Structure 1
Amino acid sequence: MTAATGAAPRGGTGPWVLGVDSGGSGLRVALADAGNGPDDGSGPSAGNGVGAVDSIGAGIPDGLGDGVGPVRSAASRVPVRTGPAGIDAAHLLDQLLPMVRVLLDRAGADAVSAVAIGAAGMATLGADLRAELPGALARSLGVRRLALAGDAVTAYAGALGQRPGAVVAAGTGMIALGTDLTGWRRADGWGHLLGDCGGGAWIGRAGLDAAMRAHDGRRGGSPALLARVEAVFGPAPELPALLYPRGDRPAVLASFAPEVARCATAESADPVAAGILREAARHIADAAVAVCPPSGECEVGLAGGLFKLGDPLLVPLQGELAARLPQARTVPAAGDPLDGAVLIATALATGDLRLPLDERLLHVPTEQGS
């Protein structure tokens, strides 16, 4: 049950649009008044915490905010299931529809003009979503304009809007996406077993490897990282039994990345930890080089929690990008993937979608009922 802490005004004139961000930490939804968004499509139309937000939880008594602005959001902490058919459309709808109905009621709105859903794994695991969601959302919400996007696309839109450039989205994993607005260029994002080089899981695993080398007395070990392993996880020989049975191994590996950064910036400045972050920066730069539009100046947006590691990663990354992409200008992300989903939905509603369509990365089905 959701508790109300203030009456939400029924401000805004519409059209109302819905942005959805589905990932490993759950499902986030934002209802926005597209009539109050920017008219040039150059940047995010709603912010995560930009403007006033009505915030509700799906089965979580987080409370309802005062809601004095055009953006209202809801969240579920339950990740959408993935099964044999890929991302489970029925499970996504079971969570999404009740939240949307509450948000519409709080906004005093009767309908949603356009919806954009960004989901981790959409490119390879989105077949069920592409097959089921257009009809289901048309029947349940009367939605006629729908975009289904990979989370890298919504991260791009949140970071740079509808401008050409490149975005590196790095958290537990790492993917780079670039466009000249005629097509997409993708690099990495292949998961922690096949890639995600330079991402949080990659850094964490490299740090754990250096710790275990120090435990064994092998070359390349780091006593500083070994000390952090034992402080965080317990005795080093017990680490395999702790790690291997876990279904969330990438997240566990990534949880050690901040420890690598701390060792790199400690008073003794562990050279092994610093070397891991320099190599991570090279991998991230490799991906940015692969996707940056080749002609003219290229903006490179850095999006995701990995960059909160700060200077131990950012300083070598800036050096790599300056040397290998001298035409590039690094910019902070203007918004997050939920902002990007709202921007795409707004562009659909206003007929101003300029990001290139792609069957797997940014799919816009034929309008339902037209």
Structure 2
Amino acid sequence: MTDTVPDTAATHVLGIDSGGSGVRVGVARANAYGGSAAQNPLTGSPTPMSSTPLGWSSPPLGWSSPPLTWSSSTPAVVGARGIDAEDLLARVLPAARELLREAGARRLGAVCVGAAGMATLGDDLRARLPDALADALGVRRLALAADAVTAYAGALGQRPGAVVAAGTGLIALGAVPEGAAKGLGVASDPDDASRTGNAPSTGGASRTGSAPGTGGVPSAGGTSSTDAASAADAAAPGGDTRWAATGWRRADGWGHLLGDCGGGAWIGRAGLEAAMRAYDGRDGGSKPLLARLEAVFGPATGLPGKLYPRPDRPAVLASFAPEVGRCAAEDPVAEAILRTAARHVAEAAEAVCPRLESSEVALTGGLFRMGAPLLTPVREELAARLPGVRVTEAAGDPLDGALCVAAALAADELRLPRDPALLSVV
């Protein structure tokens, strides 16, 4: 595919969000991000603070008109080649055509497809979507993104910072968009050199010499950690070797057996363990959590038989996280679990947040709907670990992010870093 569509001809953009809980499609006007420059996610400018009941800043996306959307609760099929492009197309193309007709779209400027598993399961999408979408919709600009990237774009637009997405699991993603570091101060982090081997290259190389989230795939430039660290030391004031160049940085998202620390499954498992300790009479047990276990799952001795055979064990564990939140006000064990979870959230954010004076951290995902029992300690941990970094609520969700990326691409203003696994443009 080549960029042959004139910007002036683009009237609308299309966003597709394919996740574990279903598929969504959105259509918005290509210039739908109205309001002042500070409200426009395409500019990268800071958004004015606004007060919420919890005291968080909440940057609006600045829609001049809301997008039209369609959704299905059935996730895309995953087969031998990963996410099945034919299955995805069979569902989203009829929906897209209807939304475009309803919107009165004359010319589709760009499409962004954000998908869970794009990095490791996206081969079929990368092979088939460009031609299929060009043939079906006449679009010549396509961005293929991991769902973490569209979550980032939905939360912060193209501003530098970090996003922690927490639901059943937990992943943090940080970015310095192209041009964002120019003329901005870089905070000093004297301990960072011991934690990181190199800085992300412009192509998105990670601290280990691999693209984040690719499972060890070498970066396009092949830069060694020694060379990258030297270049970063020369370029970054204060010795912050991570963010001398634009790029992505990822932390966690490794699943409930290897990580996702502080996510819903992690909290639920910790709560159930405390309940079982109370049943046994061991230290660290919680009688309130035991009572909630028995109310939700039945007798404690039957829990292993109900949990271990389930193929959706992470979701079952995460279903108990709200019970931990409900007990936290009166139960010190539950409160301690959430405080530890908050520390994990802040650690992930700290690991990926660029040390720029304009950086923000946004929190997104269903876990944070738990409210004050989790958000209060998260705010305290973030303030301690990232002093001076503004903490915000996410401006939008991954579908908003897909539309934001598509609109930026249609306007030739996409500054989020390209990465073979995380964000590619074809």
Deviations 1:96-152 (A, max 9, x none): 111111112212335422100111111222122112211211122112100111111
The residue type paired with residue 175 of structure 1 is I
Q: TM-score w.r.t. structure 1 length?
A: 0.85
Cα separation, partners in 2 of 1:292 and 1:107, compared to 1, 3 Å:
same
- Tell me, in whole angstroms, the C-alpha distance in 2 between the residues paired with 1:207 and 1:237: 15
Cα separation, partners in 2 of 1:124 and 1:40, compared to 1, 3 Å:
farther
For residue 64 of structure 1, what is the aligned residue in structure 2? none
Are positions 1:187 and 2:183 aligned together?
A: no
Cα separation, partners in 2 of 1:85 and 1:113, compared to 1, 3 Å:
same
Residue number among 153, 158, 168 corresponding to 1:157 in the alignment: 153
Q: Which runs of 4+ in 1 moved over 6 A?
A: 47-52
SS of the counterpart of 1:36? coil
- Tell me, in whole angstroms, the C-alpha distance in 1 between the residues paired with 2:68 and 2:373: 37
SS of the counterpart of 2:413? coil
Are positions 1:215 and 2:276 aligned together?
A: no
For residue 283 of structure 1, what is the aligned residue in structure 2? 344
Of 170-179 and 107-116, deviating more is 107-116
Cα separation, partners in 2 of 1:124 and 1:160, compared to 1, 3 Å:
same
Task: Please report how far the alpha carbon of residue 321 of structure 1 lies from its aligned counterpart in structure 2 after TM superposition.
Answer: 1.1
Task: Please report how far the alpha carbon of residue 44 of structure 1 lies from its aligned counterpart in structure 2 after TM superposition.
Answer: 5.0
For residue 234 of structure 2, what is the aligned residue in structure 1? none
For residue 371 of structure 2, what is the aligned residue in structure 1? 310
The residue type paired with residue 144 of structure 1 is R
Deviations 1:29-75 (A, max 9, x none): 11111133248596458x999979xxxxxxxxxxxxxxxx5521101
For residue 192 of structure 2, what is the aligned residue in structure 1? none
RMSD over aligned CA atoms reads 2.1
Cα separation, partners in 2 of 1:291 and 1:167, compared to 1, 3 Å:
same
Do the aligned residues in 2 keep the contact of 1:42 with 1:161 (CA within 8 Å)?
no
SS of the counterpart of 1:360? coil
- Tell me, in whole angstroms, the C-alpha distance in 2 between the residues paired with 1:17 and 1:153: 18
Of 252-261 and 318-327, deviating more is 318-327
The residue type paired with residue 161 of structure 1 is G
- Tell me, in whole angstroms, the C-alpha distance in 2 between the residues paired with 1:168 and 1:79: 23
Are positions 1:337 and 2:398 aligned together?
A: yes
The residue type paired with residue 274 of structure 2 is A
- Tell me, in whole angstroms, the C-alpha distance in 1 between the residues paired with 2:310 and 2:364: 27
Gaps of 5+ in 2: 1-8, 43-58, 178-245
Residue number among 98, 108, 119 corresponding to 1:102 in the alignment: 98
Are positions 1:175 and 2:167 aligned together?
A: no
Do the aligned residues in 1 keep the contact of 2:39 with 2:61 (CA within 8 Å)?
no
Identity score, percent:
65
For residue 266 of structure 2, what is the aligned residue in structure 1? 202
Task: Please report how far the alpha carbon of residue 81 of structure 1 lies from its aligned counterpart in structure 2 after TM superposition.
Answer: 1.6
Q: TM-score w.r.t. structure 2 length?
A: 0.74
Task: Please report how far the alpha carbon of residue 327 of structure 1 lies from its aligned counterpart in structure 2 after TM superposition.
Answer: 2.6
Do the aligned residues in 2 keep the contact of 1:299 with 1:330 (CA within 8 Å)?
yes
Of 237-246 and 332-341, deviating more is 237-246
Structure 2 matches for 1:204-243, cutoff 5 A? 204-243=268-307
SS of the counterpart of 2:322? helix
Residue number among 128, 135, 148 corresponding to 2:144 in the alignment: 148
Aligned pairs, how many?
333
Task: Please report how far the alpha carbon of residue 23 of structure 1 lies from its aligned counterpart in structure 2 after TM superposition.
Answer: 0.8
SS of the counterpart of 2:257? coil
Task: Please report how far the alpha carbon of residue 311 of structure 1 lies from its aligned counterpart in structure 2 after TM superposition.
Answer: 1.5
Cα separation, partners in 2 of 1:157 and 1:43, compared to 1, 3 Å:
farther
Gaps of 5+ in 1: 1-12, 53-68, 366-370
- Tell me, in whole angstroms, the C-alpha distance in 1 between the residues paired with 2:109 and 2:173: 28
- Tell me, in whole angstroms, the C-alpha distance in 2 between the residues paired with 1:79 and 1:49: 26
The residue type paired with residue 328 of structure 2 is A
Deviations 1:260-300 (A, max 9, x none): 000002xxx11111111011011111100100102434211
Structure 2 matches for 1:1-370, cutoff 5 A? 15-38=11-34, 40=37, 43-44=40-41, 69=65, 71-181=67-177, 182-265=246-329, 269-365=330-426
Cα separation, partners in 2 of 1:74 and 1:203, compared to 1, 3 Å:
same
